[in-house]
Amino acid sequence: MELQNSKQLFRNALDRHYAIGAFNFVNMEVLKAILQAAEENKSPVIVQCSTGAIKYAGIKTLVAIVKSIVSDMTVPVCLNLDHGKTFEDCKNAVDAGFSNVMIDASSLNFEDNIALTKQVVEYAHSHNVTVEAELGVLAGIEEDVSANKSIYTDPIQAKEFVARTGVDSLAVAIGTSHGTHKFKGKAELAFDVLAEIEKQLPDLPLVLHGASSIPQEEVKLAEKYGAKLTGANGIPEDMLAKACKHNVCKINVDSDLKISYTAGLRKYLTENPDNVDIRKYSTAGMEEITKVVSHKISNVFCSKNMAN
């Protein structure tokens, strides 16, 4: 199957009230583990890489690996650029073969965000590539994305932003946060803000960034074998499931995969100190990722068996 942009994927998700997991990857191992879970669960899936991942592995290499694996798959797959910061970031991704790009100009003022987003939309749409943008600010730190506090998305601004840019989906800030330590106290999401955004934009696919749940069984497994993740916490899965019943069609997951892969590697290497076969301990990490992704597809996003 060829890569798909987000248009039909999100249309199906809106109509059938589920969300599609958008899972970050930096190498072949993480990618294969994600796609194995999607194929086994007959779920559409979005795989995405940041500009940091592109610097690490190379954009041509990443696209080639994705297209090679996806060609033998039966479920729809979208390849997304996560948090492109400039027009050049997004143009390079479009030209390289990405089927969706995210332009994150949320750190700019409202008018500048509109101007840059519109520029990306015009170029991407001319190449049959869909575009995600962001309005509002998420707290936390993840690679090159950081903020000290969150600023909720303004629903009235969101309506104007979409009308003026023609963007295909919008990442909104309702209290999620980047990183592995998301809350100091009780987790709270502003579902009233989400509902108001839906009223203003009733047919627009919405996106949640910073939405890893930080599964505590994976944290404990990693810590058992030497990791130091004290206090790591994420978005409760019941809150994510509730968001999926709104117009949230895409939920980003990154930290969960990092922790689960690390847990699998640490366990295998500790229990097999004489092993130097990269394939064996990489497989142990991949198996943990596939388990976590399968759980989210089946029990949180409810996209299992939604590939057709």
Q: Which residues are catalytic?
A: 82
Residue 246 DSSP class: T
Task: Tokens for 231, please give them.
Answer: 């206090």
Pairing of strands 145-147, 77-84: unpaired
Residue labelled with tokens 């960034």: 209
Alpha helices in the chain (DSSP H): 6-16, 28-40, 51-57, 59-70, 87-96, 110-125, 155-165, 191-200, 216-224, 237-244, 255-271, 278-299
| Neighbour order of strands in the sheet with 139-142 | 145-147, 139-142, 177-178
Separation CA 60–CA 50 (nearest Å) = 14
Closest CA to 36 of 97, 77, 80, 82: 77
